[in-house]
Amino acid sequence: MPLRTEPVTVNIGPQHPSTHGVFRMRVTFDGEVVLDVEPVFGYLHRGSEKLAEERTYTQVITLTDRLDYVASMTSNQAYVLACEQLGDIQTPERGRYLRVIAAELQRVASHLMATGFLLNDLGAFATPLMYCFREREKVLDLFEMLCGARITMTYLRVGGVFQDAPEEFWPALKRFVAEMPHYIDEYEQLLSENEILLARTRGVGVLGTGEALNCSVTGPVLRSTGFAWDLRKVDPYEVYDRLEFEVPVGEHGDNYDRYKVRILEMRQSVRILEQCLAQVPSGPVRAEVPQLYRPPPGEAYGRVESPKGELGFYLVSDGGIAPYRCKVRSPSFINLTVLRDLLVGWKLADMIVTFGSIDVNMGEVDR
């Protein structure tokens, strides 16, 4: 006999481990079934956009590191592309290849964290997450060779990169490219046909293509619906138009497809890295740009395909040494707009997994 229950509103977060940072959800339940969700933003608001207007163009790069702090290389990249548009600066070929190498290594590292923590949300406490951390450490070792840092890199510069890669970087990158496909195979053998993973993700948290487009969702969340939108293909930047790679897509837009797309994208990133190793030319890595960069008055929008979707920087210059206006189009913030639609009607345990499948970083949500 069904029990009559009254709706109960529960706060989840802003410090709950399953909210992946300082994010709060006010959730109304009927038993364990989600009736309504009110996302509450703003617990990590650091005013990065306003701070950018008080710093020189180069100093702002350190702020971009701290947006999506598990993918700081791509945050650097979007910002410096916008700066270069303002000043019509041409980056040397070697610098552009190094940027692509950094961005694709960062994509692998970010997707590893997305996969590991998704499985953590599913209840697999240690093994998958530790496996993903293992390979991420190899990426961070490569970053340390490039710039001496492992998390907040500040490696990219207006006109190129901070410095050329040291000699020991290239054999280490070759080893990583040779070994990583084996480890991705290992993840798939462990996870992709796992009975619990399939039961908890297939058909759960379904997002349609039309709904995703209406909400401006991008990245793996959009591509999981079957829509092959990737800025590296549709609006190539750096040297992506010279590289061969595919855009993985899903079929159903559910939690499983979001997981699967990220696995496939890691394979394509390794493929891109292999081509960059073969094509990277010699020469300078940075154009001559004054220390106090003063672009002419104007506006620019630089965007990249970050691991989470379209990351864009809108900059306005008044001819000074600091941006007059800086506005960030962050994929984590935009992708969260579909959260309520994904969760209503599912149960508490499904809610945790679905939220994890979106893969957000609160640093670029509450910016």
State the DSSP code for 154: -
Q: Is the peptide bond before 17 cis (omega within 30 degrees of 0)?
A: no
Say if pTM beats, i.e. exceeds, 0.85.
Answer: yes
- The strand pairing partners of 325, in sequence order, are 316
The DSSP bridge partners found for residue 313 are 302, 328
Using left for φ > 0, alpha for ψ between -120 and 50, and beta otherwise, residue 250 falls in beta
Predicted pLDDT at 127 = 87
Q: DSSP string of 20-43?
A: TSS-EEEEEEETTEEEEEEEE--T
Residue with tokens 């999506």: 68
Phi and psi angles of residue 272, each rounded to the nearest 5 degrees, phi first: -65, -45
pLDDT value of residue 41: 86
Pair 39, 23: CB distance under 8 Å: yes
pLDDT at 367: 82
pLDDT of residue 2: 66
Q: Divide the 367 residues of the chain into consecutive groups of 10 and give the mean pLDDT of each group.
A: 80 85 93 94 88 96 95 97 97 98 98 95 86 96 96 96 97 98 95 93 96 97 97 97 97 96 98 98 96 95 98 97 97 95 95 95 89
Domain boundaries, the chain: 48-343
pLDDT score at 285: 97
Q: What 3-state class would DSSP assign to 1?
A: coil
Which pLDDT belongs to residue 230?
97
Q: Is domain 48-343 given the CATH code 1.10.645.10 in the classification?
A: yes
Amino acid 18: pLDDT: 81
